[in-house]
Amino acid sequence: MLVLISSLSNANTIDDIKEKGVLKCGVYRDIPGYSLNNEGIEIELCSAVSYAIFGKQDNFEAIGLDADLRFEAVKAGELDISFASPVLNQKRDLTKGVDFVAPYTYELQGLLAMKSFYNKATLKLEDFSYKSFKDIKEEISVCVAGDTIIESSFLKYMVKHAKGKVRIKPYYSFLGAKRAFLRKECSLLSDQIGVLKSMLKMNEYFEPSILLDDIIEVLPLYAMIKLGDNDFHYLIKNIINGLLLAEDKDINSKNIDEVLNNTKDKEILYMFGQIKGYGKSLGVNDDFLYKIVKNLGNYGEIFDKHLGEASGHNASRGLNNLYKNGGLFYPFKVYGQEE
């Protein structure tokens, strides 16, 4: 046991990444708004870590992952970090052997239905006329990724709200569940609402679908690294916090230089490297956050670019807003705080 503790405490991912010359960054496969064609929130966060460690944007490799592979890939060192949307709960925190650093977005779990379905009672293809799972009385089947929070959350929701017979059909992966739904192996698909909305856009030309009104669960999605590296943990935590803190202080990619030229706010000067020490305390250059916000934007800019109005997805900020706008994000201060 003493040997294990020693090996964990000596872990230094930042130095290892610098030596390799590339950040290996896990992202989900082909989810618009998150990671598709080298664009999305997860890609931007990989870029942010690259800016912090290397001072430039493109020293990372985005590695697409299925849900069942992400934990082992991080534990084995095949990935330095994963933004492949792992949802934190106590069981995972205790048993998966990885470090859930900080939430980078809050998703909602919902349900997608085909506009037409096969009614076993009438033996006919009928229009799907329901707005909520709670109203369905016919026998239906629901595709989910098996052995996931999506499956367990839907099971609880089903037990509470089902009025007819429901058959849950678990698949090996999220991709497997999506493909089964498109093959009409089930009437409904349950997943993150962001994923379901992306499917709405992809399906509209060949298989019209409907997003139901049900909100099944809130899903906090965390950045994930291997256990035992406090330096890398604090760096990732401060990158995500820095994006939020910049937005909280109304600093964005367009006005950051003007703000720095005119402000006397010591926290702003410190966080962006004008007062020395912040980056050095995290094992990187003091201007790391300046480069990130200047080139990628603050959290709000990144969200809007990939999920909000600028992206075409038109997702509202909702829970992903700052505390002062009714959201869950409350960035911590980085200068002048009491111990």
CATH number at residue 264: 3.40.190
- 310, 290: one domain: yes
- 167, 241: one domain: no
Dist. CA 164–CA 187, nearest whole Å: 13
pLDDT at residue 3 in the model: 35
Ranges of residues in the chain with a pLDDT under 70 are 1-11, 67-68, 85-86, 117-126, 201-207, 336-339
At 22 the three-state DSSP class reads coil
Q: Structure pTM?
A: 0.86
Dist. CA 100–CA 274, nearest whole Å: 31
Dist. CA 191–CA 179, nearest whole Å: 13
Q: Which of 157, 189, 218 is the last residue of a domain?
A: 218
Is residue 174, in this structure, part of any structural domain at all? yes
Q: Which of 194, 218, 242 is the last residue of a domain?
A: 218
> Which pair of structure tokens corresponds to residue 225?
């690294």
pLDDT at residue 122 in the model: 58
Is residue 155, in this structure, part of any structural domain at all? yes
Whether the CB-CB separation of 189 and 112 falls below 8 Å is answered with yes
pLDDT at residue 228 in the model: 92
- 234, 304: one domain: yes
Let me know how long the chain is.
339
Whether the CB-CB separation of 95 and 71 falls below 8 Å is answered with no
Instruction: Report the DSSP beta bridge partners of residue 169.
Output: 143
- Count of beta carbons in the 10 Å neighbourhood of residue 131: 13
pLDDT at residue 167 in the model: 95
pLDDT at residue 196 in the model: 87
Domain count of the fold of the chain = 2
Instruction: Report the DSSP beta bridge partners of residue 35.
Output: 31
Is residue 263, in this structure, part of any structural domain at all? yes
- 117, 206: one domain: yes
- 234, 204: one domain: no
User: CB neighbours of 53 closer than 8 A, spacing ≥ 6?
Assistant: 14, 17, 18, 23, 59, 235, 284
- 34, 76: one domain: yes
- 250, 321: one domain: yes
Dist. CA 13–CA 77, nearest whole Å: 10
Nearest to 233 by CA among 43, 102, 137: 102
Q: Which of 218, 242, 274 is the last residue of a domain?
A: 218
- 186, 260: one domain: no
pLDDT at residue 6 in the model: 36
pLDDT at residue 86 in the model: 66
Is residue 9, in this structure, part of any structural domain at all? yes
- 132, 166: one domain: yes
Is residue 89, in this structure, part of any structural domain at all? no
- 158, 198: one domain: yes
- pLDDT averaged over every residue in the chain: 88
Q: How many Cα neighbours within 13 Å face the side chain of 207?
A: 14
CATH number at residue 122: 3.40.190.10
- 252, 279: one domain: yes
User: CB neighbours of 208 closer than 8 A, spacing ≥ 6?
Assistant: 114, 115
Is residue 94, in this structure, part of any structural domain at all? no
pLDDT at residue 202 in the model: 63
pLDDT at residue 85 in the model: 65
- 205, 123: one domain: yes
148 is in which domain, residue-wise? 111-218
pLDDT at residue 4 in the model: 37
Is residue 332, in this structure, part of any structural domain at all? no
Helices (H), the chain: 2-9, 13-20, 41-54, 70-75, 90-95, 149-161, 174-182, 193-203, 230-248, 256-262, 266-271, 278-281, 288-296, 299-306
Is residue 98, in this structure, part of any structural domain at all? no
pLDDT at residue 313 in the model: 73
